[in-house]
Amino acid sequence: MANTFEVLAEPRRREILDLLRVCERPVGDLVGRLGLTQPAVSKHLKVLRAAGLVDVRQDAQRRWYRLRAQPLAEVDAWLAPYRQFWNERLDALERHLDAMPDERPGTGKTDGTEGI
Amino acid sequence: MANTFEVLAEPRRREILDLLRVCERPVGDLVGRLGLTQPAVSKHLKVLRAAGLVDVRQDAQRRWYRLRAQPLAEVDAWLAPYRQFWNERLDALERHLDAMPDERPGTGKTDGTEGI
DNA sequence: GGCGTATATTCCATATTGGTTATATTCCTC
DNA sequence: GAGGAATATAACCAATATGGAATATACGCC
């Protein structure tokens, strides 16, 4: 496993991250909210820990899990060049609309700078 | 499958997307660049197509595959709330470093307290 | 030290996936 | 219409991940 993308592929693990984004939580809390058995949750947490996506803090028998979002930056970085790509699509739509006979809702200004 | 995250979990599929981001390509081209067998590539393309991540255009026997980045916006949307999160961390680190008495690494001070 | 709680780990059965080989389909060219 | 190129599909195998039940471990408390 070890790869962030694979780790995120599991819906349950994304749920766990979503929960941990709100606050630090012990395993039992996650078990209750996810409707999974305790071993299943522990296993997912192990995977998340191995990927550096969560951190543990031990407090007696309880272990508080905390989000570490940093590895998600890797995903974000991979996504970055694509972002421009899907913006292009939107821009194309926009240009298309702009190119239409000047029927802009709102401003009637035509200063000629909109083609940029 | 069908879920964008799961589809992206495969390194080979991300490679395919990376290649298609550059330009539209026929299957054979991908086969050559990935060093995979043709059936393997076709399977990945099928998965990508099912997920709406690529589009096909038929031209005689050749099929040109093209990127459709839109589903990646879904991933981006999931990532959004986390983005703030990892910025916080960096900011915290920055504040931490700023708050330190001028003990920046590289100042040559050797009082032996840095092994923390 | 024994007990109960909270969590991790092991073992097992099942399911899915990615790859390979072989075959089918589609379309062009001769 | 026969042959060949480009791609898709089918059948099969090996590897792996997931979930559950049972068990082990760690810790605080009495």
User: Is B86 within 8 Å of A70 when comparing Cβ atoms?
Assistant: yes
Q: What percent of chain B has pLDDT over 90?
A: 64
Q: Which residue of A has its CA nearest to B70?
A: A86
Say how far B61 CA is from D11 C1', in Å.
Answer: 25
Q: What percent of chain B has pLDDT over 70?
A: 75
- Across B10-28, average pLDDT: 96
pLDDT of A44 above 90:
yes
The pTM (predicted TM-score) of the whole model is 0.77
User: Is A86 within 8 Å of B79 when comparing Cβ atoms?
Assistant: no
Closest CA to A4 of B80, A13, A12: A13
More confident: A89 or A66: A66
DSSP conformational letter for B66: E
Nucleic strand C near CB of residue B63 (< 7 Å): no
pLDDT of B86 above 90:
no
Could you tell me how many CB contacts below 8 A there are between chain A and chain B?
61
Q: Contacts for A36-39 with beta carbons within 8 Å, 24 or more apart?
A: A36/A12
Give B33-83 pLDDT, tens digit per residue. 999 999 999 999 999 999 999 999 999 889 999 999 999 999 999 999 998
Residue A103 banded pLDDT, cuts 50, 70, 90: very low
- Average pLDDT of the residues of chain B: 83
In chain A, domain spans: 2-68
B36-68 as b/e: b if 16+ CB within 10 A? beeeebeebbebbeebebbeeeeeeeeebbebb
Nucleic strand C near CB of residue B47 (< 7 Å): yes
Select from A3, A21, A82 the Cβ nearest to the Cβ of B85. A21
Give the start-end residues of each E strand in A1-116. Answer: 25-26, 54-59, 62-67
Under 8 Å between Cβ of A47 and A7: yes
Which of A49-53, A94-98, A110-114 has the highest mean predicted lDDT (pLDDT)? Answer: A49-53
Q: Which residue of A has its CA nearest to B75?
A: A79
- pLDDT value, residue A111: 42
Residue A110 banded pLDDT, cuts 50, 70, 90: very low
More confident: A99 or A57: A57
pLDDT of B116 above 60:
no
- pLDDT value, residue A52: 93
Q: What is the distance between the alpha carbons of residues B64 and B86, in angstroms, rounded to a whole number? A: 39
Select from B14, B21, B82 the Cβ nearest to the Cβ of A69. B82
Side-chain-side CA neighbours of residue B73 (13 Å): 12
- Across B74-94, average pLDDT: 81
- pLDDT value, residue B98: 66
Q: Which residue of A has its CA nearest to B90?
A: A70
- pLDDT value, residue A92: 65
Select from B76, B86, B89 the Cβ nearest to the Cβ of A79. B76
**In this structure, which CATH number among 3.50.40.10, 3.40.1050.10, 1.10.600.10, 1.10.10.10 belongs to the domain A2-68?**
1.10.10.10
Say how far A38 CA is from D29 C1', in Å.
Answer: 24
Which positions of strand C lie within 7 Å of protein CB atoms?
4-10, 16-22, 26-28
pLDDT of A115 above 90:
no
User: Is B69 within 8 Å of A82 when comparing Cβ atoms?
Assistant: yes
